[in-house]
Structure 1
Amino acid sequence: MQLGLESNEAAIEQFMASHTLQENEKLENASFWSPSQSAFIKECLASDSDWAEVVDQLNVQLRQ
């Protein structure tokens, strides 16, 4: 995965269960990202890259 996280199902489920975003918190500003992860998310959204849709999905999932 581009964020440097494991991409197997168990790792994804564990990450999603242990990380959430506050109502008004921007995904790229979440405290659990490293500076490079945050920069990658910002770049994806700003450039509407191929990863932008995945980043949008991540944003939604971290708010559930």
Structure 2
Amino acid sequence: MDASFHRFSELFAQLGLPADDAGIRAFLATHAPLAAGIALADAPFWTPAQAALLRDEILEDADWAEVVDRLDAALRAPG
């Protein structure tokens, strides 16, 4: 079993977003809070490719699921 740990910055890089601390903070400030009834991958600010990546990672890749869950939680936190 692969016990990989992925950082927030790695997920942002995979999504093609700025992956430095300032870029991550700006993204979260711009897009949070995400409404409770919207699945993370269904949020309107993702491109189709980003949404597909998030769906695939949460459904198929346990290595990435934890960091995707952390992104989901961060986007649901009140600003």
Runs of 4+ in structure 1 off by over 2 angstroms are: none
SS at match of 1:32: coil
Gapped regions of structure 2 (runs ≥ 5): 1-12
Q: Which has the higher contact order (CA 8 A, sep 6+)?
A: 2
- Find out whether 1:12 has 2:44 as its counterpart: no
Rounded to whole Å, the distance in 2 between the matches of 1:46 and 1:9 is 27
TM-score normalised by the chain length of structure 1: 0.94
Deviation at 1:50, TM superposition (A): 1.5
Report what 2:15 is aligned to: 3
Q: Percent identity?
A: 44
Superposed CA RMSD in Å reads 0.9
Give the count of matched residue pairs.
64
Distance in 2 of aligned mates of 1:46 and 1:32: 20
When normalised by structure 2's length, the TM-score is 0.77
Q: CA deviation at 1:24?
A: 1.2
CA drift at 1:26: 0.3
Unaligned runs of 5+ in 1: none
The Cα offsets for residues 4-60 of structure 1, whole Å up to 9 and x where unpaired, read as 111101000000000021011100000000000000000001113311111000000
Work out which of the two has the higher radius of gyration on C-alpha atoms and give 1 or 2: 2
Structure that is richer in helix per residue = 2
Residue type matched to 1:35 in 2?
Answer: P
CA distance in structure 2 between the aligned counterparts of 1:62 and 1:41, rounded to whole angstroms: 14
